[in-house]
Amino acid sequence: MKNNKLIFLGVLIFVSIVVFAIIFYKQYYLPKYNWQDQFTKNSEEPYGQKLFFELIKKQAQPIKIINNQQFVDLLDTNQTNTNYISVNNGISFDSITALHLLKYINKGNNALIASSYSPLELLRFFVPIADTIYGFDEKTDSIIKINFDNPGSISINPLKFHFQYQKDTIAYNWAGYNNVYFKDTLTKYGFISYCHLNDSLVNIFYVPYGKGKLIIHANPILFTNYYFIKKEGFLHHKQVLSLLNKGPIYWNEPNENNSIQNTQGTYPLKFLFSSPYLRYAWYLLLLSILLYIIFRSKRMQRVIPITPKNKNSTIGLIKAIGTLYHQNKNKHYIGTEMYLIFLTEARTRYNIQTDTDEKSLISVLSDVSKVDKNVINNLFRQFNKVRFNENARSEDVISLYNMINNYHKRRK
């Protein structure tokens, strides 16, 4: 009995010390502001969007708030000269919502989507199936410069930005399309560059569609309060908004679970967290339950059986796809796929343009890869033999495969 009292007293002292440490830490060491990106229209934190929302609220009336759950119902595709704005760290479209937004743009409306991840569900509608569209590249840096491509830009000099976290300027993953890939591939399908980041990434671009245009911004963090209060941030906002129509705006608020509006509602623990003392009492209760579980409870769960190791089914999938090609006897399709993969790998490895004529491409590829020109010339001759011959044989594809391997062994 005496030992139980000593254990209880020890636990009580330990809990008291922990609670005091939590209170002291929250009072003197926790930052005054939340430096995580939030992208909500009511957030006054450094990386919230209250200032940007207030700006467009003054410039455009009316503003209609929509969300992902009500996207199709609230975004009116019969209106014209309006704008749709979504600024978030990542926005996802399915085929239904993507087609709905394109129908909205086609009527003469503009859509501005600022997202760190490329909205591939939308952009795939502009690129043929035979070609491939990739996600954004990233550049990790603490300070960047952006240049607007439009000669009539409001700022001739590059706009300089840095990423701040509390009192420190730290590195950040800035997103955008690689210049070479954008110029070689996407410009062929109507993509127009509007702004570059450090002269290496395309930060803003747009695609005309019908009577309107789809505008993509790769770094939504530049729309937040921290950058808006600076001259460079205001100039950036003004230049981006010049792409929009003068009419009403549909504002897509991020996921309701993360929005300020949603947290202002009623929920079971709101009363407890409204008072610091009740909040710490709740933490103390949770900590006491945790200590009880650790010291007093017994293991009641049965022993977890050993499961077999996962099998790598990738090779099986490749074999299945190869069998389908073989059964269809369409060897020229395989040759076309091998050709596209070869060109993509060459663009990525050597940063060269591959949309030139074949003779020039062979010469450039020979120079950068240090492979004899005759070897590459024979390789392209075999490519053409398989790609443009519907009666190509399996031996032709095997010979092409061996020639590609021979090129890979010789290249630098």
Q: Could you give the CA distance from residue 228 to residue 51 in angstroms, rounded to a whole number?
A: 7
Q: Could you give the CA distance from residue 215 to residue 206 in angstroms, rounded to a whole number?
A: 4
Predicted TM-score (pTM) of the model is 0.57
Tokens of 193: 């560059």
Instruction: Return the residue matching tokens 């009740």.
Output: 278
374: helix, strand or coil: helix
pLDDT in tens, the chain (412 residues): 455 556 666 667 777 777 666 666 665 555 677 888 888 888 889 999 999 999 888 877 789 999 877 788 889 999 999 999 999 887 888 888 899 999 999 999 999 999 999 999 899 999 998 888 899 999 999 999 999 987 565 556 889 999 998 888 999 999 999 999 999 999 999 999 999 999 899 999 999 999 999 999 999 999 999 998 889 998 998 899 999 998 899 999 886 443 323 333 445 565 666 566 677 778 888 888 887 777 665 555 566 778 777 776 666 666 776 676 666 667 777 788 888 888 888 888 888 888 888 888 888 888 888 888 888 888 888 888 888 887 778 788 888 888 888 888 888 8
Q: Could you give the CA distance from residue 92 to residue 119 in angstroms, rounded to a whole number?
A: 7
Phi-psi bin for 177: left (phi > 0), alpha (psi -120 to 50), beta?
beta
State the DSSP H helix or E strand holding residue 139, giving kind and residue range, or none if neither: strand 137-141
Q: Burial of 43 by CB count in 10 Å (0-12 exposed, 13-18 middle, 19+ buried)? A: buried
Q: Are 191 and 149 in contact (CB under 8 A)?
A: no
Q: Could you give the CA distance from residue 145 to residue 408 in angstroms, rounded to a whole number?
A: 38
Q: Could you give the CA distance from residue 181 to residue 98 in angstroms, rounded to a whole number?
A: 24
Cβ neighbors of 38 (< 8 A, separation 6 or more) are: 45, 47, 48, 49, 258
Q: Could you give the CA distance from residue 353 to residue 346 in angstroms, rounded to a whole number?
A: 9
Q: Could you give the CA distance from residue 402 to residue 210 in angstroms, rounded to a whole number?
A: 47
Q: Could you give the CA distance from residue 298 to residue 76 in angstroms, rounded to a whole number?
A: 59
Cβ neighbors of 168 (< 8 A, separation 6 or more) are: none
Q: Are 233 and 220 in contact (CB under 8 A)?
A: no
- Side-chain half-sphere exposure of 188, counting CA atoms within 13 A: 13
Instruction: Return the residue matching tokens 């989507």.
Output: 113
Number of C-beta neighbours around residue 302 at 10 A: 6
Write down the pLDDT at residue 299.
55
Write down the pLDDT at residue 108.
94
Q: What sign for the dihedral angle of Cα 186, 187, 189, 195?
A: positive
Domain ranges of the chain: 2-30+266-284, 50-260, 315-410
Q: What class is the 50-260 domain?
A: alpha beta
Write down the pLDDT at residue 259.
32
Angle 287-263-257 from CA coordinates, rounded to 5°: 90
Q: Burial of 236 by CB count in 10 Å (0-12 exposed, 13-18 middle, 19+ buried)? A: buried
Residues in the chain: 412
Pairing, β 168-169 against β 172-178: unpaired
